[in-house]
Amino acid sequence: MNKRRIRSSSQNLLQQVLDLLFPIHCAGCQKIGQVLCPSCIAQIQPLPPPICDFCGTPLSTYGGCKNCQYHRPKLSGQRAVGLYQEPLRSCIHQLKYDGNVRLAVPLGLMLAQAFREYGIQADMLIPVPLHKDRYQQRGYNHALLLAEVCSAHIGVPLKDNILVRHRATVAQVDLHPKDRYQNVAGAFACSPYANNALNGRKILIIDDVSTTGATLEACATPLFMAGAKEVWGLVLARPLI
């Protein structure tokens, strides 16, 4: 049994014990019974059209995308499930910071649904990696959990050993949008496992939130350098900026 399976089995056992002591509550409305109830799921609406072809930002009725006007994404494109607002915001926070890893299932299903509805094409999924120090603190990579669920439902293979975060960075949420690009610049690299696996391939990067797209772009740079044909980003949410 590999380390991931051992870790998963341990987490499942711990979760079963916790469920006996503390009944499951919906991450959105706190009702007892489900990790995310149908009513809260129904409140998570797709981004209102029209959206930018490149960064996926909802466009105003007045025309062009203000984001891409000043900074053209260094990606083939990016898409999001919905806006960074309740109840999706609370769900992401609980998954990422509060250890509610069961939320990866309904949220990962939303990513899979968005993948199909947007008509995205990909040869492999790559989750945004955590630095080893951050991983040790948290005990899991939320982006990997999401990508595992998404991969299982869309039939696109997941590769979590292709991209590594070799430089620790401060949390993007604490930075001004203009500083986020500098914070993650050069923070990611392709591992030796990449070899020729990326040549001519269409890659889809999975993460939770994209504000400026800086993290997705920083991930895309080494993937393009390694021969990727297209690199897209798919996230759960993005705020209107």
pLDDT of residue 168: 82
pLDDT of residue 138: 92
Domains of the chain in sequence order: 46-238 (3.40.50.2020)
- Tens of pLDDT along 58-86? 887 666 787 787 777 789 999 999 999 99
pLDDT of residue 185: 84
pLDDT of residue 63: 60
pLDDT of residue 66: 77
pLDDT of residue 241: 64
How far, in Å, CA of 78 to CA of 4, rounded?
29
- Tens of pLDDT along 192-224? 988 889 999 999 999 999 988 999 999 999 999
Residue 233 has phi, psi (to 5 degrees) of: -120, 140
**In the chain, which residues have pLDDT < 50?**
1
pLDDT of residue 234: 98
